[in-house]
Chains A and B, each alone.
Chain A
Amino acid sequence: MTLAESPALHPSAVLHRALGLTDHELEQVVTRLQRQPNDLELAMFSVMWSEHCSYKSSRALLRTLPTAGAGVVAGPGENAGVVSIGDGMAVAFKLESHNHPSAVEPYQGAATGVGGILRDIFTMGARPIALLDALKFGPPASVRTRHLVRGVVAGIGGYGNCVGVPTVGGELAFHDSFARNPLVNVMAVGILDERRLTRSVAPGPGNAVILFGSTTGRDGIGGASVLASATFGPEQGSKRPSVQIGDPFAEKLLIEACLEVIEAGLVEGLSDLGAAGLTCAASEMADRAGTGMLIELDDVPRREEGMAPFEVMISESQERMLAVVRPAAVPAMLGICARWGLPAAVVGRVTDDGDVTVRSAGVAIARIPAQALTSDAIEYQREARPPSHRPRAPSRGLLELTPDGFPERGMDPGAVLIELMGDANVASRAWITGRYDETVGSDTVTGGAHGAAVMRIKGTTRALVMATDSSPYVGLIDPYLGAVTAVAECVRNVAVTGARPLGVTDCLNFADPGRPEAFWQLAEAVRGLGDACRALGLPVTGGNVSLYNESVDGPIAPTTQVGVVGSIDDIAMLVGPAFTQAGDVVALLGRTVPGMGGSIYAQHAGQAPDDEPPLVDLQHELALGRMLALGAARTILHSAHDVSTGGLATCLAECAIWGGLGASVRLSVRSAPAVELFGEGPGRVVVSTARSLWPRLQGLAAESGVPVTLIGQVGGERLHIRLARAGSTGPLEDRGVSAADDVDLALADLRGAWQRGLPRALGLDP
C-alpha cells in the first residue's frame, strides 16, 4: 500500500481550513511535497506552520536582532539561550508566553506555562534555579480580572512550588486592553556545567529515539494552531479542550531524570515536547542535525484508547521528552527512567533520508521532509502601516515651566503619592509573592519583591541577578519607544545591584499580524529591541513571539517583555535598593526628562493616553550601568534603586519603606512639580551613601559622565520632599506651588497604603 492509499487518509478539500491553514498555505504544502498531503500530514503541517511554531510572520524581523556576543554559548533557535559565566559554568534563560491558555483556563494555562519554560531550561542540561512571572491583567476592580488573577497566581504557585524551583520575581501591570486577553509570560533561569550543554538535535542515523516522561493523551490537541495562533471571539470557553493539563510531580521527576541521563552522558540530543508535540520535536531535531527520523507510532505509550494517528502526533500532553540515544546506551537510559517511575519507550530511530516518517503496523502513513516542517516552513512578509492617527512624536529638550498647563496645579502631592503607592501597578506584591515558594533551593539572596532577584551560586562568591520588565503604556503610544524603555529599565534593574548584564531574552506580545497596524507595532518593537540591545552591547539569546492577542474588546497594548540576567563576581559587593543608614546622603543619578505619557500619574490625572512618553538616552544608560558596577566594586554605594513606575517620589518612598528609614529630600523643580515627583523618565537611580563617601561618589559620577545631584539625607520616620525652584532657595509660591505642597508623610502611612493597595484594588482578602 502506498502512502496515498492509506485508509482514511484521503485528501480533503476543506480539512486544511478547519486545521487553520489557508488555501495559499495548502498550495505551499503541495509544492514542498510535490503531491497532495494526506490528513495526517496536513495535521502535522497545520501545527508546525502555525504562527506559534513557525514564527511565519515574525521570522524576518527576528533575524535583525543582535545575537552574537562574548560568552554566548547557545543563541536563538535552541530551546533556551546559554551564556558563559566563567569557570566552566553557564547560565540558561528564556522568557515564554502562555497567554491564550491562561485566558481560557487560568490555573492550567499558567501552570503549564511554568512547566513548558522549565523544560526549555533543563533540556539544555541546566538545573533550573529561578522563575519570574510577568503578568498583565485588565482593570483590577473587575470580576473577570479577580478570577484571572486568582487562577493564574494559583497555577504558577501550584506548579512552581511543587517542582521545587523558587519563584523569585516578575512584574505585574494592569490595563483595560488585557481584560479578556491577559498576558502570562514566564522566565526561567538555570545553571549548567558547559561540558553538559545538550542540544535539541538528532545526530547519527541508526541511533534510537526514546520518548519518556508522561504518556500521550488527547489533551492540548491543536493548542499551537487553534489557541495560540488565532484571536479570541466570544466563544473562549469552547477552546478549553485545547488547554493542556500540567502535572508538576511528573515534571519534578523529569527534571531529575533528565539531569541524570545528561550527567551520565547517555543522550546525543534532547528535546522537550511542547507546542505541536511529537511532530515538532521530531522534525526540529532531525532538521538541525541534517538527518531524518522514523517514528513507530504504535510504540508511543498512551494514556487512552483509540487515539487517531494525528492525535498522537500533535498531542501536547505535558511533561514529555524525546531523546536520541546510541543503541548501546538504550538499556541504561530506560533503567534511569524506570527508577524515576517514568514511562519510556523506544519509538523510532534516526535516519539519513531527511524525512520525518510516521509508521504504523509496518506501513508508512506520513512522510514529510523535516525541513518543510521547520526551517523551510512558510514565511510571510506582512504589510506594516502606522496607525492613521499616530500619536505625537515625543519632543526633545526640557519642558518649559508652565504651571497653568499642568493638572497638578493646586494638587496635594502627598495625597497623590499615597494614592500612587496604593495603585495596583505600584503597590506591594506580597499578596502574590506570598503564594510562591521563594526560598526553595537555598540560593535566594533577594526575592523579587524589591526590584531584581539575586541568586547566589553555591560553592562560589558569585551571584546571578535577574529581572523582567515591560512598558505597555509607553508601547501603546509608541511601540518602538516601549521596547527601548523596557530594555533600558530591565538592564538598569540588574545594573543597580552592581551586576554586569550578560544577555537579553524577550517575549513579544502583539495583536493579529494580518492587520497592517498591528504588524507595524511588532516591527517597530523589534526595531527598538534591536537598537537598544546593540547600543547597550547585549545579545538577544532567545525568546518567544505571541501574536493574535486581541479579543472582542480590541488589541492589547503592544508589550515587549524583556528579561535580563547579569552576574556579580563577589556577592559581598551587592548593592540593595533600601536605605541602610541614618545620616547617609541621598543622591539622584541622571536627570529628570520631560514627558508624562504612559505614566501611572497620567492615568490618575486623567491625561490623554497619547501624551508624550519620555525618551530614552541609551548612551546615558550605558554610562550609568558602568558607573553602578564601579560604585558597587569600590563599595561607594550603600543603596541604589531605579526610578520607574510612579516616578521619583514612589522610588524614594520604596527606599524608605524597605529600609525602615525615612528621608528628607529637597528637589529643584526644573519643569513642572508633577514631572519631578511622578514623571517616569528613564535613566535615573536614587542612591545613598555615607556623607564621607560623597566626594568619591561625585568623582565616580564625573569620571563616568553621569550627572549626580545631592538631594537629601536618610533618617527619621517620615518622608519629607520639599520642592524648590531650580536656581533659587525659595519655594514656588509664585508658580502655584507653596510650602504647603511639600510631601511630608509618616513612613507608617506610606507603608500602609503600599501594603494594602493590591488586595484592596482586587477586592481580595489581605
Chain B
Amino acid sequence: MKVGVVVFPGSNCDRDALHAARLAGAEALSLWHEQTDLHGADALILPGGFAYGDYLRAGALARFSPIMGAVSDHAARGGLVLGICNGFQILAEAGLVPGALVRNASLRFEHRWIRLRVERRDTPFTSAVPDGMTLRMPVAHGEGCYVLPAADLRSLEERRGVLFRYDSPEGNPNGSAHDIAGVIDQAGNVCGLMPHPERASEAVLGSDDGLLLLRSLVASAAAAVAVPA
C-alpha cells in the first residue's frame, strides 16, 4: 500500500505527512508537483503549507500545478485523496471538494489545539475511529473559515458531506459555517480538513488521535488494492 504525498513549492507539512503515513503502516513517497505520474500511489495526501507562498489566494496557484491533472484522474477513478489544511484549500480551489476557505473570522492566523467531532464512521477516512470518540489535534491557519452558499450548505448537510466539526470545549477557531472542519465529496473518496491529523500521530506530541484518520486511509486503500476492480 503506497501513499503519495504531493510536494508543491512551499508545502511545509509534506515531511510530517510522510512520517505519519509510515507510522500508519503505509509505504510513503513524495510526488513532486511537476510530475504527472503518481508512481503507483494507491492513496494521495495533499499536505499543509503555503504552496506558492499562498500568494494571490491560498491554493489558487497550486491547483494549476501539472500533478493536479493526475490527482483529478485518480479521484475520478475512485482513488482516495486526503487534503490537509493547505491541501484542503487546494482541493477546494480545484473543485474536488465543495466550498471555499476564506480568512478566519478573527482575521488572524490561529494556532491552537482543538477537538474534532467525527460525523460519520462509514467513510474510508474515518473507519478506524471508535464510536463516540472526539479527536484532539492542532489547527494552524489564517484562511480556514469554511463557506458555502446557503442552498449548497443545505444539500451538503443533507447528503452527509460534513465529515468533521469543531467541538467544545475549544470550539470553532475560524468562524466556519456550521462549525465545519472537514468535508467529503459526493462520491466519498476525496476528503479535505483544516486540522492537522499528521501532527497528532504520536503520544509524545500531545495526541495520537490523528493517526486514526491516517490508519483509516491506509486500511481503506489497502482493501481497495486487494479487491480486483
**Once the chains are docked, how many angstroms separate the CA of A442 from the CA of B17?**
9
With contact pairs A249-B53, A249-B55, A445-B204 given, residues A435 and B9 touching in the complex (Cβ less than 8 Å)? no
Q: Are B138 and A252 touching (Cβ within 8 A)?
A: no
Chain A residues with CB below 8 A from B49, complex form:
164
Is there a chain A Cβ closer than 8 Å to B108's Cβ? yes
**Once the chains are docked, how many angstroms separate the CA of A248 from the CA of B54?**
11
Which candidate, B109-117, B152-160, B181-189, B212-220, is the interface stretch facing chain A? B109-117
Q: Are A161 and B140 touching (Cβ within 8 A)?
A: yes
Interface residues of B in 17-63 (CB under 8 A from A): 19-20, 48-50, 52-55
Chain B residues with CB below 8 A from A162, complex form:
10, 12, 50, 53-54
Q: Are A164 and B204 touching (Cβ within 8 A)?
A: no
Chain A residues with CB below 8 A from B174, complex form:
none
Q: Are B196 and A439 touching (Cβ within 8 A)?
A: yes
Of all chain A residues, the one with the shortest Cβ separation from B140 is: A437
Chain B: minimal CB distance from A250 (Å): 8
Is there a chain A Cβ closer than 8 Å to B205's Cβ? yes
Q: Are A164 and B111 touching (Cβ within 8 A)?
A: no
Q: Are B50 and A252 touching (Cβ within 8 A)?
A: yes
With contact pairs A162-B53, A252-B10 given, residues A442 and B201 touching in the complex (Cβ less than 8 Å)? yes
With contact pairs A162-B54, A252-B12 given, residues A445 and B111 touching in the complex (Cβ less than 8 Å)? no
Is there a chain B Cβ closer than 8 Å to A433's Cβ? yes
**Once the chains are docked, how many angstroms separate the CA of A439 from the CA of B52?**
21
Is there a chain A Cβ closer than 8 Å to B199's Cβ? yes
Is there a chain B Cβ closer than 8 Å to A247's Cβ? yes
Interface string of B82-122 (1 = CB under 8 A from A): 00000000000000000000000010111110000000000
Chain B residues with CB below 8 A from A439, complex form:
111, 138, 140, 196, 199, 205
Q: Which of B50, B108, B109, B198 contacts A442 (CB 8 A)?
A: B198
Interface string of A105-124 (1 = CB under 8 A from B): 00000000000000000000
Q: Which of A442, A571, A765 contacts B199 (CB 8 A)?
A: A442
Of all chain B residues, the one with the shortest Cβ separation from A463 is: B204
Is there a chain A Cβ closer than 8 Å to B16's Cβ? yes
Chain A residues with CB below 8 A from B205, complex form:
439, 442-445, 456
Is there a chain A Cβ closer than 8 Å to B135's Cβ? no
With contact pairs A247-B53, A437-B140 given, residues A164 and B9 touching in the complex (Cβ less than 8 Å)? no
Q: Range of interface residues on chain B? A: 20 to 34
Q: Are B112 and A434 touching (Cβ within 8 A)?
A: yes
Of all chain A residues, the one with the shortest Cβ separation from B34 is: A339
Chain B: minimal CB distance from A434 (Å): 6
Q: Are B9 and A440 touching (Cβ within 8 A)?
A: no
* Number of A-B residue pairs at CB separation under 8 A: 84
Chain B residues with CB below 8 A from A444, complex form:
205
Is there a chain A Cβ closer than 8 Å to B13's Cβ? yes
Of all chain A residues, the one with the shortest Cβ separation from B32 is: A339
**Once the chains are docked, how many angstroms separate the CA of A436 from the CA of B110?**
7
Chain A: minimal CB distance from B30 (Å): 11
Residue of B20, B49, B106 most packed against chain A (CB within 10 A): B49
Chain A: minimal CB distance from B193 (Å): 15
Q: Are A440 and B204 touching (Cβ within 8 A)?
A: no
Chain B: minimal CB distance from A454 (Å): 10
Chain B: minimal CB distance from A738 (Å): 40
Q: Which of A161, A163, A445 contacts B109 (CB 8 A)?
A: A161
Chain A: minimal CB distance from B194 (Å): 13
With contact pairs A436-B111, A439-B140, A442-B205 given, residues A458 and B10 touching in the complex (Cβ less than 8 Å)? no
Chain B residues with CB below 8 A from A163, complex form:
12
Q: Are B50 and A249 touching (Cβ within 8 A)?
A: yes
Q: Are A434 and B204 touching (Cβ within 8 A)?
A: no
Q: Are A441 and B16 touching (Cβ within 8 A)?
A: yes
Of all chain A residues, the one with the shortest Cβ separation from B137 is: A439
Interface residues of A in 135-165 (CB under 8 A from B): 157-158, 161-164
Chain B: minimal CB distance from A735 (Å): 45
**Once the chains are docked, how many angstroms separate the CA of A678 from the CA of B49?**
44
Q: Are A253 and B140 touching (Cβ within 8 A)?
A: no
**Once the chains are docked, how many angstroms separate the CA of A252 from the CA of B10?**
6
Q: Are B111 and A438 touching (Cβ within 8 A)?
A: yes
Is there a chain B Cβ closer than 8 Å to A340's Cβ? yes
Interface string of A423-462 (1 = CB under 8 A from B): 0000000000111111111111100000000001010000
Q: Top 4 nearest A-B pairs by Cβ distance?
A: A164-B12, A249-B53, A442-B16, A437-B140
11 A–B contacts from the bound complex (CB under 8 Å): A161-B142, A249-B50, A252-B53, A433-B111, A435-B110, A436-B111, A440-B16, A442-B198, A442-B205, A443-B205, A445-B205
Besides A249-B9, A438-B111, A442-B201, 12 new A-B residue pairs in contact (Cβ under 8 A), listed by A number: A161-B140, A164-B49, A252-B53, A253-B9, A341-B9, A434-B108, A436-B111, A439-B205, A440-B199, A443-B205, A456-B205, A458-B19
